[in-house]
Amino acid sequence: MDAPIVVLDRPQLGENIGFVARAMMNCGLRRLRLVRPRDGWPNPAASAAAAGADAVIEGVEVFDTIEGAVADIHRLYATTARRRGLSTPVLDGEGAAREMRAEAAEGCRLAVLFGREASGLDNDAVALADAIVEFRLDPAFRSLNLAQAVLLVGYGWWCAGPADGRDLRRRGDLPPEDTSPPATKEEMANFFSRLERALAESGFLRHPEKRPRMVRNLRALFTRARPSTAELGALHGIVESLRRGRPGDPPDAA
């Protein structure tokens, strides 16, 4: 079973990357992806702070965009301390761990996205995610440093593992008879581009000031449905068919 991949958006201090690597090793996580690390990569400060977590440091992959870093991912979790006005479901640490175990058991490739030390994740990044993870912490003091947030995710994952023999069933499974694999983030991104282009053409997105929010909400809605690859194909077909309209000469439209 593949453990979740950790994705850090624009991490600033190399030391923090090293601490993240340690926290990952504590919990059996090995794969770390960095999106535009401020001080470049490799980073000696990261290696020094990793103190033994070499397996993580040596395998680090670097990306230019979050979209690139999650292109091959089936289920993406975003950690955030603030609500975003998105319809994306919010899970606590335990709920997220349970879901991740169940999804990994189904063969999904998972990733967890963490924002910058100072500012966290942008709304656009959060909107990419299937679920938001919000830890149960004292509401009076919710600010966690980066490595500690990674530790809570990893610890949840590890403790929810098979050794505990817990019930991994969850709601929101793929429809049992649909044997098509879940859509990847790249496939979802392609669908969103096409949908948004069609909606721009048709005039649905005609108010520029409302557009970013409408687009985010639509993405959250379709992400929530967790379409399979086959279902996504049907959605592409629907957009195309509706866009082309009557010229398609449907035989059954009496």
Would you say 109 or 226 has its CB closer to a copy of itself?
A: 226
**Taking the complex as a whole, how short is the minimal distance between the CB of residue 67 and a copy of itself, in angstroms?**
22
Would you say 7 or 168 has its CB closer to a copy of itself?
A: 168
Q: Return the residue of 6, 70, 99, 188 that touches a copy of itself, per CB under 8 A.
A: 99
Q: Does 85 bind a copy of itself (CB under 8 A)?
A: yes
Sheet holding 5-9, edge to edge: 61-63, 32-35, 5-9, 110-114, 75-79, 131-133, 90-91
Q: Return the residue of 5, 126, 153, 218 that touches a copy of itself, per CB under 8 A.
A: 218
Q: Does 103 bind a copy of itself (CB under 8 A)?
A: no
Q: Return the residue of 58, 105, 206, 210 that touches a copy of itself, per CB under 8 A.
A: 206
Helix (H, G, I), strand (E, B) or coil at 53: coil
Q: Return the residue of 40, 52, 59, 162 that touches a copy of itself, per CB under 8 A.
A: 52
Would you say 64 or 252 has its CB closer to a copy of itself?
A: 252
Q: Please, which of residues 11-40 interact with a copy of itself by CB under 8 A? A: 19, 22-23, 25-28
**Taking the complex as a whole, how short is the minimal distance between the CB of residue 121 and a copy of itself, in angstroms?**
16
**Taking the complex as a whole, how short is the minimal distance between the CB of residue 37 and a copy of itself, in angstroms?**
21
Main-chain dihedrals φ then ψ at residue 79, nearest 5 degrees: -95, 135
Q: Minimal CA–CA distance to 153: which of 50, 52, 24?
A: 24
- Residue 244's H or E segment, with its range, is helix 229-244
Q: List, in sequence order, every beta strand (DSSP E) within 92-184.
A: 110-114, 131-133
- Tokens standing for residue 140: 């009076």
Which sign does the torsion angle of CA 155, 156, 158, 164 carry?
positive
Q: Give dist(CA 158, CA 98) in Å, integer.
A: 10
**Taking the complex as a whole, how short is the minimal distance between the CB of residue 93 and a copy of itself, in angstroms?**
7
Burial class (CB in 10 A: 0-12, 13-18, 19+), 62: middle
Stretch that binds a copy of itself, among 6-14, 71-79, 130-138, 184-192 (CB under 8 A): 130-138
Q: Give dist(CA 254, CA 224) in Å, integer.
A: 35
Stretch that binds a copy of itself, among 31-39, 62-70, 118-126, 217-225 (CB under 8 A): 217-225
Stretch that binds a copy of itself, among 39-47, 79-87, 105-113, 186-194 (CB under 8 A): 79-87
Q: How many residues bind a copy of itself (CB under 8 A)?
A: 96
